[in-house]
Amino acid sequence: MDGILLVDKPYGITSNDLTIKIRKKINQKVGHTGTLDYAATGLMILTVGKATRLTEYFQGLDKEYVAIGELGKITDTYDKEGKVLEERKCNISKDELISIIKSFEGTYPQYPPQFSSKRVKGKRAYQFAKKGIEVKLKPKIITIYKIDILNIDLPFFEIKVHCSSGTYIRTLVKEIGDKTGCGAYLYSLRRTRINGFSVDEAVSFEKLLDMSTQDIEKLLIPVEKAIRFLPKIYLDDGFDKRFLHGQRFRVPYEKSGLVQVFDKEGRFLGIGRVNKEKILKPEKVFL
């Protein structure tokens, strides 16, 4: 049983607990390619069996979220799971709010929330935050490619965000609130897309637990189709064996960076990296 599984995570379970339950259900190695908060729902990509070796290649993919924020309240976690620290009156027009929201499109450094899983001194940041200890977190350069305004019914606003990996939507909503002067927190969050994978393709976690192992296996996207976001190259006879033995060699392709590698019959061999000199280096080999 090898491949990736698209799961629609429900509200009220951690990504790790979801992964563990599925691992026990199918009695296979299972990894997840990026966490969703306890209170968030939506798409998770799980790697199963041999595909767990591919986990790292999914972790840096762009994401899409649908989020609802509420103006006028500030919480310690930046979402509704937290304690309300302050409430403010908010007098802002829809046009002003739209302009502020759209101003966050672009690339800039973003600080993670104090209640996050970022590691500080060997512990998770939220472990300090729960004790009331504020720690210094390093910002990460993130990109908000596009924000679509789906609905505004003040004090609530609903947005769809296409962003780079590592973006905290909780922080984005909090920053929007800061810029309005009203404050804001994340009321709900749903991940709808990871690169070319959509939550519409996913199976619900509840349904998955009721399925047989055989039926779950039918849902797996095979390893050779799972990394469809990487370009493909095909190797002639002899070169396929050299690749499988970890050798480097020149290839007649203009592509550079990570690539999927196949033999001339279309059999998936693994993942390699092509440098500027067109030298292919094997990274992950699948025998």
Which residues touch 205 (CB under 8 Å, ≥6 apart)? Answer: 7, 8, 9, 10, 13, 18, 22
CA-to-CA distance for 8 and 16, rounded, in angstroms?
A: 14
pLDDT at residue 42 is higher than 70: yes
Task: For 90-129, write each residue's pLDDT tens digit.
Answer: 999 999 999 999 999 999 999 888 766 677 767 776 776 6
Q: What domains can you pick out in the chain, each with its CATH number?
A: 3-60+196-223 (3.30.2350.10), 63-191 (3.30.2350.10), 230-285 (2.30.130.10)
Would you name the residues annotated as active-site residues? 37
Please state the pTM of the whole predicted model.
Answer: 0.90
Q: HEC profile for 159-177?
A: EEEEECCCCCHHHHHHHHH
The SS3 assignment for 223 reads helix
pLDDT bucket at 142, cuts 50 / 70 / 90:
very high
Look at residue 174 in the predicted model and tell me its pLDDT: 96
Phi, psi dihedrals of residue 166, rounded to the nearest 5° = 90, -5
End-to-end CA, the chain = 15
Query: pLDDT digit string (tens) for 214-233?
Result: 999 999 999 888 898 999 99
Task: Tell me if residue 2 falls in helix, strand or coil.
Answer: coil
Q: Alpha-carbon distance 11 to 61, whole Å?
A: 23
Average pLDDT score, the chain:
92
